[in-house]
Amino acid sequence: MTRTALAFVLAVSTAFTGCDRTPREPAGTSMSASAAPVAPASSVARLSPKLALPAAARVVAIGDLHGDLGAARRVLRLAGAIDERDAWVGGALVVVQTGDEIDRADSDRAILDLFDRLAREAKGAGGAVVALDGNHELMNASLDFRYVTPGGFAAFADLAPRADGRFADLPGAERGRAAAFAPAGPYATDLATRPLFVEVGATVFVHGGILPKHVRYGLDRMNDEVDDWLRGKRPRPPAIVDAEDGPLWTRVYSTPNVQPDCGSLGRALAELGEKRMVVGHTVQPGGITPACGDRVWRIDTGMSRAFGGPIEALELEGDAATVLRERAK
């Protein structure tokens, strides 16, 4: 990228660093769920209706998809959400996808479009499909394309601007994707309709993880500020979101073979009035795993062909959590 192009990127947003960066924060000290402090009822940080859905009889959570449409279809069928024609058959089922639908493989535009269509179909059937924004969605809005494949660029070629000086210094193959994801672009505007967090019943879902300081800042406030940035109404996302320990970046609950920070988890859940948290972002070598007395579930299995992980999803029915696994063929 030329200096002129980089200057444009910095003008529209704060540049995101790579998704493989190591968090600066310490892993923390283990604390059992029972030892976590409980917030007084008056201090519980209630989420607005746009970030909260009522409890559902059945919820299925799906982790990172990273541009693999085949994996997306397979996990949605595993969940009982779609048929062989990719039509919604889930009825009142609620599906939450925890972000990072894009980058690393070629079919990310098709995945974004599929989840948008399924959200409309599910709503008409009494269910819901909620796709969250992950760090890769916001990286693309910052024109950080380091994980985009040639096919991922080609899929947006029809959106290449004919006369837009903002993208003149980008390679021609990148201009369509830049026009799509730059703030106020059509796909950035679509991402602005996707939340950073969602509560379903007593479970909160997020891409990386929610820390107590995120709750104090305000989840609705964070979400609104990111939406304004994606719609081109503010020059950059809030610093707390872009930080290495931001809710789309932190790995304090999910780093493999490292004790998660159950103390922070307990405080965040207590302040939100939630029973558990579901996170993606960090590939779990053994598939979906719980921690901290089952109060956090890590659901990124690396199912994209970019990683070659298993097709799995997390099914929640009341207090019961079950890992759904695709049967070997």
In eight-state DSSP terms, residue 316 is E
Distance, in Å, from the CA atom of 192 to the CA atom of 210, rounded to the nearest integer, reads: 19
Rounded Cα distance, 310 and 102, in Å: 18
Q: How many CB atoms lie within 10 A of CB 141?
A: 26
The residue with tokens 């779609």 is 82
Active-site residue list: 136
Q: Are 103 and 139 in contact (CB under 8 A)?
A: yes
H or E segment at 12? Answer: helix 3-12
239: enclosing H helix or E strand: helix 239-242
In angstroms, what CA-CA distances link 229 with 116, 181, 232, 261, 263? 21, 12, 5, 31, 32
Is the separation of the CB atoms in 67 and 102 below 8 Å? yes
For residue 57, the one-letter residue type is A
Pair 289, 297: CB distance under 8 Å: yes
Q: Distance between alpha carbon 283 and the CA centroid of its chain, in Å?
A: 13
